[in-house]
Amino acid sequence: MIRLDDKVAIVTGGGRGLGRAYALALAGAGACVVVNDLGVRLDGSAPGDQSAGAVVNEIRRAGGHAIANTDSVADPAAVQRLVDSTLALFQRIDIVVNNAGIVRSRPIEAMGDADFDDVLAVHLRGTFLCTRAAMRAMRAAGRGGRIINTTSGRAYYAPSAGTANYASAKGGIISLTGVAAVEGKDAGIICNALSPLARTRMSAQYLANDQDDALDPATVAPLVVFLASDAAAGVTGQVFRVARGEIATVTTAMGPPIRSTRGRWTAEEIAERIPSIIASTPT
């Protein structure tokens, strides 16, 4: 049985949906969990609801250990406060799950600067800030650690109108995950990313009427528990797609090259050959 006894985990966006499922599962496996959530609306406005506290109460009623935190992952000082307060209380950080996110769907031509910047600030910048602070603490402690990020199929295979900000952030998180895995390897810091499909507040416009039990956020949580555990040693730099009971790795693939006979192409030759180049792209 995989256990996380004596481990300390931070879960951002832990008050609802997938984050709540992760927090409950990590606590159920024995970890002490810091449930971080601003308690905002889906678009990031009106912070202050008690979602983080509600999850903490669930964990405590089940016999687990948890505290609530409402610091913003988009604010460097707040992220440092989150990490420092966790270290002050528990003397260690072993696991960070970067899950916080907001949505502001607009077509590119109608998307305001703030709509773009604010979404990247929470998803991409927030993941970077939490990863940086966690890696510093983990390296200093000398015990290694686990960082689990969140990306989306919108970034790599299913672009959707109105998601330029969200998809851009999630694409950046894939790259950030790879770099963190490389840089953390010597310190035993393992970094992976999830690309989950689940029925949550964020996915409601797409999945609200899909009652497939495999879309319950709790179905994704066991992978988080595994990746947070000692059993995942050596599994790093991976992106895992988790959807409807299936788990797969996601990679960036390059199709077989088509070479010019002269070593240089003309625009006309490219126009003639481009259909075969596109047709050979891996799916």
Structure tokens of 93? 């950080």
Q: Which long-range contacts (CB under 8 A, 24 or more apart) does 155-160 make?
A: 155/195, 156/195, 156/250, 156/252
Angle at 174 between CA 125 and CA 117, to 5 degrees: 30
Q: Which of 22, 157, 166, 206 is catalytic?
A: 166
Whether 166 is catalytic is yes
Closest CA to 11 of 102, 84, 73: 73
159 φ/ψ angles, rounded to the nearest 5 degrees = -60, 145
Q: How far is Cα 114 from Cα 93, in angstroms, rounded to an integer?
A: 33
Q: How far is CA 17 from the centre of its chain?
A: 13
CA-CA distance, 105 to 166, in Å (whole number)? 8
Write out the H or E segment, with its range, that includes residue 207: helix 204-207
Residues 175, 252: Cα–Cα separation, whole Å: 11
Q: What tokens appear for 98 in the block? A: 């970067």
Would you give the distance in Å from CA 241 to the centre of its chain?
11
Q: What is the side-by-side order of every strand in the sheet holding 189-197?
A: 65-69, 32-36, 8-12, 95-97, 145-150, 189-197, 239-243, 246-249
CB atoms under 10 Å from CB of 259, counted, come to 9
Q: Which residues are catalytically annotated?
A: 166
